[in-house]
Amino acid sequence: MPWLYILFFCSGFPALIYQIVWQRALFSIYGINIESVTIVVSAFMLGLGIGSFLGGAISKLPRVPLLATFGAIELSIGLFGVFSLPLFHLVGVHTARAPQLVTGALTFLLVLVPTVLMGSTLPILVAHLVRLSGNVGTSVGILYFVNTLGSAAACLMSAKFIMRMLGESGSVYLAAGINGAIGALALGAFYLVLNKSGHDGASVEFETDATHPLQKPPLAFPWAMIAVGVCGFVSLSYEIVWYRVYSYASGSQAKAFALLLAAYLEGIAFGSLFSRGICQSVSRKSAARCMGAISGFAILANIAGFLVAPLMAMSMRFVDYVVTLPMVMLSTCLLGALFPLICHVSIKPDRKSGARLSYLYLSNIVGSVAGTLLVGFMLMDIWSIRQISIFLAIVGLLFGTGFLLTVVRGKVLVATIGGMAALASLIVVCSGALFDRVYEQMVYKKDYRTVDRFARLIESRSGVVAVAQDGTVFGGGMYDGRFNTSPLHDTNMIVRAYAISSFHPSPKNVLMIGLSSGSWAQVIVNHPDVEKLTVVEINPAYLNLIPQYPEVAGLLKNPKVEIVIDDGRRWLVRNPSQKFDLIVMNTTFHWREHISNLVSCDFLRLARSHLSIGGVLYYNTTWSGEVQLTGTTVFPYALRVINFLAVSDSPIRVDRQRWKDTLVHYQIEGKPVFDLSRARDQKGLNEILALADTLDNNRRYAEIAMEYADTIRVRNRNKRLITDDNMGTEWMD
């Protein structure tokens, strides 16, 4: 039935587009800290699991036209997709300040309807196909293959052009259109069959398959549920580990996740296709061969999965991270073969096959959610990726060994147990060398030297923070500043922090989104006029680093400083009454994942509502023309200070004399920044103040200069405004 396979392939395409867009939309509303990410991902997966359960219940009803039901489900998903983004934003506006438990429940309810519908399609179509073929393994294998391959294609196309060209809303409309077309074609095919055969296909006579007769399956169903649960746990846990290393290696590019997910799903798809051939050739009498295949695939998959991170890191010294994605495909191809094979040896091909499949699918998803919670939410806070990889490899080896023990006896049994124990020991022993300096290799890439080693490295569920020997900070694999507060030895352009008094007369109450090394916060909180500094930081790992560097160590003890661990955007939404004279954001590179959440028109309007009269928003544009144009479009007044942009609803003017007076009296923890008795300090002060002189000569653009709004707008007039919907340059090549 090639036309049915084509429909189910296309069905997988919009499902992944929805997942990418809906997750991003929900992150914009509820934040992208680890709690929100875990809630959103778990909500999606649980919805799929419930849908599978309901789809299985529907599939065993004898008079239900399964093909027509599939068509109706696709139409319903498309209808929800059309209204999904406005619905999410409407609910988000009214619930963003709700407690974490409430927002988690709301997130689950928001995605419940579409994910339940999506999850129900596999057991329904498997039941339909089993009625015709009488073979569970081949039915699951081919449908799992085509649907997963469609999802992988969606990931690739999203990374290459869909998200970049269509944005969030356009991508959702494309997905909804595909759902509508699939639903219409499925219903049309159903009525064509009805007209030709005179029956609705709901009561097709079941015929047994010689390769799997109606006998007791060799694997008890409860054990099969446990087995697929473990498969889901290991598979999703490896994906979390792989996402960490690929995100780190790419500098947290938005397309990195899509490309990784594409490779992950392609492997699952072709593994399912490969298992289909085994299911066709293995009979009940040679079930031992099938159980042995499950064992072998599980063991090899976990060895390959264990090696992905270190081999990818080593490869980064010679090639781009994209070239290493086939290593992910190899592991997931072996993992992907397991689900159809376990279904084949545990499900009888009768009218209840779809229902039984739904139980296994639900168990697989429960295992996946458990992997998300245990590994992504808990273990990453206490273990390194090396320790987590060892844990997963040993779990996988135990899983494979369990299946192998069902088919070996006597001396072979003893040898098998000994061999698996030796293999587990080898993994533990070799892991030290394999995972040594993986993060250094991913950061320095082709410039990596064997002597390179980070001075400090902190791995947590919120991300990876590393400090090089020279004090350079890397957050998520990208430059994130240096430990330096001196404008006379400026290694991190800290002059931009000292420039605040050039355009702001008296910043008493200041909000800073993002802490990093704490250098900026140390300079700002010691500004003569600052009375309180509130810092919102998403990654608590920085708080462990700051006390170890004398220049910023006093920051955490300063009574004027309040540090909050939260997503900056979410914190603003949850604290609508808070007003500030100055909001500062040393934002990261404009092309990184989720950065448009802090530089879009939507965010700037949110920040505006938190500015006092005369207040200024001051943030890093990383030299992006789009970021600069967006800021000068939302706000009437603006000043560029090198690559920072100060925007306000009140006029902004540089006061050179005020700036000089402030700098002369600037002290950090009681120590003067400038000692004007020294010629070197006097010269450094004059060089800094000379930045204001560039305002009189800005006809020709200069990077190290100041510039007012009018020329910024003219210079970038052909650029595009950044919105939450178009996501700026995040998906650009």
Q: Is it the case that residue 143 has pLDDT exceeding 50?
A: yes
Query: Dihedrals φ, ψ of 460, to 5°?
Result: -145, 175
Average pLDDT over residues 267-273: 88
Beta-carbon-side half-sphere exposure of residue 367 (alpha carbons within 13 Å): 23
Query: Dihedrals φ, ψ of 407, to 5°?
Result: -120, 0
**Integer Cα distance of 107 and 47 in angstroms:** 11
Dig out the tokens for 251 from the structure: 């500098």
Q: Is it the case that residue 238 has pLDDT exceeding 50?
A: yes
Indicate the DSSP class of residue 212: B
Query: In this predicted structure, what is the pLDDT of residue 184?
Result: 93
What percent of the chain stands above pLDDT 90?
Answer: 62
Confidence (pTM) = 0.90
Instruction: Calculate the alpha carbon distances from 565 to 153, 252, 513, 705 in Å.
Output: 37, 20, 10, 34
702 or 568, greater pLDDT = 568
CB atoms within 10 A of CB 301: 29
Identify the three-state secondary structure at position 672.
strand
Domain layout of the chain by residue ranges:
2-204+217-433, 488-715
Query: Dihedrals φ, ψ of 704, to 5°?
Result: -90, 85
Average pLDDT over residues 282-299: 76
CB atoms within 10 A of CB 588: 23
Pairing of strands 580-585, 611-620: parallel
Contacts 24+ apart (CB under 8 A), 98-102: 100/35, 100/39
pLDDT of 688-720, one tens digit each? 999 999 997 656 788 999 999 999 999 999 999
Q: How confident is the model at residue 134 (pLDDT cuts 50, 70, 90)?
A: low
Q: How confident is the model at residue 57 (pLDDT cuts 50, 70, 90)?
A: confident
For the stretch 47-65, what's the b/e string if a residue is b when 16 or more beta carbons lie within 10 angstroms of its beta carbon? bbbbbbbbbbebbbeeebb
Average pLDDT over residues 141-161: 87
Q: Is it the case that residue 42 has pLDDT exceeding 50?
A: yes
Q: Which fold has domain 488-715?
A: Rossmann fold (3.40.50)
Query: Dihedrals φ, ψ of 561, to 5°?
Result: -105, 130
Dig out the tokens for 301 from the structure: 């998959």
Q: What is the DSSP string of 110-155?
A: HHHHHHHHHHHHHHHHHHHHHHHH--HHHHHHHHHHHHHHHHHHHH
Query: In this predicted structure, what is the pLDDT of residue 385?
Result: 95
Query: In this predicted structure, what is the pLDDT of residue 349?
Result: 72
Report the helix count and the strand count for the chain, using DSSP H and E: 28, 14
pLDDT of 630-669, one tens digit each? 999 999 999 999 999 999 999 999 999 999 999 999 999 9
Q: Is it the case that residue 450 has pLDDT exceeding 50?
A: yes
Q: Are 275 and 372 in contact (CB under 8 A)?
A: no
**Integer Cα distance of 283 and 213 in angstroms:** 9
Q: Which CATH number fits domain 2-204+217-433: 2.40.50.140, 1.20.1250.20, 1.10.10.10, 1.10.3720.10?
A: 1.20.1250.20
Query: In this predicted structure, what is the pLDDT of residue 26?
Result: 85
Quickly list H helices, 435-499: 438-444, 495-498
Q: Picking from 26-35, 113-122, 421-430, 473-482, which range would have the lowest pLDDT averaged per residue?
A: 26-35
Q: Is it the case that residue 132 has pLDDT exceeding 70?
A: no
Q: Picking from 197-206, 372-381, 385-394, 637-646, which range would have the lowest pLDDT averaged per residue?
A: 197-206
What's the mean pLDDT when you consider all of the chain?
88
Average pLDDT over residues 578-583: 98
Query: In this predicted structure, what is the pLDDT of residue 575?
Result: 93
Q: In what order do the strands lie in the sheet with 472-475?
A: 456-460, 463-467, 472-475, 478-482
Bridge partner residues of 472 (DSSP) = 482
Q: How confident is the model at residue 212 (pLDDT cuts 50, 70, 90)?
A: very low
Query: In this predicted structure, what is the pLDDT of residue 348?
Result: 79
Query: Dihedrals φ, ψ of 617, to 5°?
Result: -100, 125
Identify the three-state secondary structure at position 466.
strand
Q: Are 666 and 673 in contact (CB under 8 A)?
A: yes
Pairing of strands 532-537, 561-565: parallel
Query: In this predicted structure, what is the pLDDT of residue 284?
Result: 47
Query: In this predicted structure, what is the pLDDT of residue 28?
Result: 83
pLDDT of 333-365, one tens digit each? 999 889 888 888 888 777 677 778 788 888 999
Q: Is it the case that residue 288 has pLDDT exceeding 80?
A: no
Pick from 337, 420, 427, 364: nearest CA to 391: 427
Dig out the tokens for 319 from the structure: 């090639």
Pick from 358, 290, 340, 337: nearest CA to 127: 358
Q: Are 733 and 175 in contact (CB under 8 A)?
A: no
Q: Picking from 78-87, 352-361, 425-434, 701-710, which range would have the lowest pLDDT averaged per residue?
A: 352-361
What percent of the chain stands above pLDDT 70?
Answer: 93
Q: Is it the case that residue 201 has pLDDT exceeding 60?
A: no
Pick from 628, 632, 601: nearest CA to 727: 601
Query: In this predicted structure, what is the pLDDT of residue 702?
Result: 86
Q: Are 218 and 291 in contact (CB under 8 A)?
A: yes
3-state secondary structure 608-667: HCCEEEEEEEEEECCCCHHHHHHHHHHCCEEEEECCEEEEECCCCCCCHHHHHHHHHCCE
pLDDT of 222-231, one tens digit each? 999 999 999 9
Q: Is it the case that residue 274 has pLDDT exceeding 80?
A: yes
How buried is residue 222: exposed, middle or buried, by Cβ count under 10 Å (0-12/13-18/19+)? exposed
Instruction: Calculate the alpha carbon distances from 100 to 30, 37, 104, 379, 606 in Å.
Output: 9, 12, 6, 21, 21
